[in-house]
Amino acid sequence: MFKRSYALLALLVIAGMALAACGPAASAFECTDSIGCVDIGPGEPIHLAYAMVISGPDSTLGIDSRTGLEVATNVKGQVLGHDVQLTGEDEGCSAEGGQAAGTKLAADPTIVAVFGTSCSSAARVAVPLLSQAGFAIVSASNTAPDLTREGDPNQHPGYLRTAHNDEVQGAAAARFAFEELGVTKAATIHDGSLYAESLQEVFANTFQELGGEITTQEAVDPNATDFNSVLTSIAAGEPEFIYHPIFVQAGSLIIDQAKQVPGLENVALMGADGMFSPDVVEGAGDAIEGAYVSSPDLAAFSADYETTFLPKYRELSGEETPVSIFHAHAFDAANMVFAAIEKVAVQDPDGTLHIPRQALRDALYATQNYQGLTGTLSCTPTGDCADPKIAVYQFHAGDFPPERIWP
């Protein structure tokens, strides 16, 4: 009797298994996203890329941000059970470099999102290509206002940034000059780049609104080595202050050469975040003493910046001090993308991941009150996500980083 009951039970189990096997299979994923999906197989990594300046005189800007991405990836580990693969292209901090980097990255359909560019001039040509390819694009250091200005031809779908908008930085620099230093006459210098031209224009407009006089607004070739002629021309207007928000090479030379021009021996000189680099200290030599630079306010970063981020930055980079200023913004950009992927991805039972591209963009734009290293980030419909707090620092010969002095 027992044997017959056991045999009957076994038959029932086998029959049940057979019925289950013949039941309806789980429906296969079907992508309905308006601009497509990225499919990532079991055990395959999520492919993220960067377009940053990693060679040449402005390389510290991009290398610093890339390290921020590497710290974020290292701390995060896996996203939905998948490793993160980070690859990239050098955008050279130029339109030509942005074109080359954007073209190459846009041709790779495995890329989910792109971090970059480093420089606004590169963004102007790279972002349209990356946007057309369907990528989400998050920059840690683009600051030109038109990139996120509603209706502007340089504002493209899928683009966001964790860096401040230079409408904020340029105005802060003008207030420092007029209200803190008490100067009433200023000149500006730009190098024709989208970043520098926009930033000095905001400075000039704000300075005049405060009651100051702009004596001249000059343009220089960023590859020049002799600025005596333009500095002599500026000296004729007798400014007390020169705002030159350009990049490392030309910025260093202007600081050095200005002190040698009659009438500018005691003029105050101020750059911006593109010059927040140890290479400026080295390039300008002793003339760097007392020069100013506007930049994100490190003192406003969260406590995790000191306790968690910096130790890992030092470990991965081998640098005791970060070599530029947007590493934490890159860290926040990466974590925003990780969070957006986790929000919109569809995962099959076997671990296959499907990431809908438009849904990913929408999730990023929907970011509100995100607690990042750089502050509380909330994104506008055109992609400004920063919690912008600007400080002024003062350089001292032989020392980096510069000393925070305002506010």
- Which numeric CATH code is attached to 37-164+300-388? 3.40.50.2300
What's the rounded Cα separation, in Å, for the pair 221 and 249?
Answer: 11
Q: Classify domain 167-299+391-406 at the CATH class level.
A: alpha beta
pLDDT at 27: 66
Q: Where are the domains of the chain?
A: 37-164+300-388, 167-299+391-406
Q: What is the pLDDT of residue 177?
A: 98
Residue 26's pLDDT is what? 52
| Pairing of the two strands 292-296 and 390-394 | antiparallel
**CATH topology of 37-164+300-388 equal to that of 167-299+391-406?**
yes
Mean pLDDT of the chain: 93
Other residues' Cβ atoms within 10 Å of the Cβ of residue 26? 7
Gap between the Cα atoms of 139 and 332, Å rounded: 10
Write the CB contacts of 218 (distance below 8 Å, at least 6 apart in sequence). 187, 188, 189, 190, 230, 233, 234
User: Residues 365, 383: contact at Cβ < 8 Å?
Assistant: yes
The pLDDT assigned to 108 comes to 98
Q: In b/e form, how buried is each residue of 86-117, taking b as 16+ CB within 10 angstroms?
A: bebbbbbbbbebbbbbbeebbeeeebbbbbbb
Ramachandran angles phi, psi of 201, nearest 5° = -70, -40
- Which residue, chain included where needed, has tokens 């340089």? 154
Distances (CA, A) of 377 to 144, 298, 328, 370: 18, 16, 12, 5
Residue (of 199, 97, 90) closest to 142 by Cα position: 199
Cα dihedral 316, 320, 323, 328 sign: positive
CB-based burial label for 337 (10 Å; 0-12, 13-18, 19+) = buried
Q: How far apart are the first and last CA of the chain?
A: 91
- What is the spatial distance between Cα 353 and Cα 315, in angstroms, rounded to a whole number? 31
Pairwise CA distance, residues 268 & 15, whole Å: 88
Q: State residue 28's pLDDT score.
A: 85
pLDDT tens by residue, the chain, 407 residues: 433 444 433 433 343 443 334 444 456 899 999 999 999 999 999 999 999 999 999 999 999 999 999 999 999 999 999 999 999 999 999 999 999 999 999 999 999 999 999 999 999 999 999 999 999 999 999 999 999 999 999 999 999 999 999 999 999 999 999 999 999 999 999 999 999 999 999 999 999 999 999 999 999 999 999 999 999 999 999 999 999 999 999 999 999 999 999 999 999 999 999 999 999 999 999 999 999 999 999 999 999 999 999 999 999 999 999 999 999 999 999 999 999 999 999 999 999 999 999 999 999 999 999 999 999 999 999 999 999 999 999 999 999 999 999 99
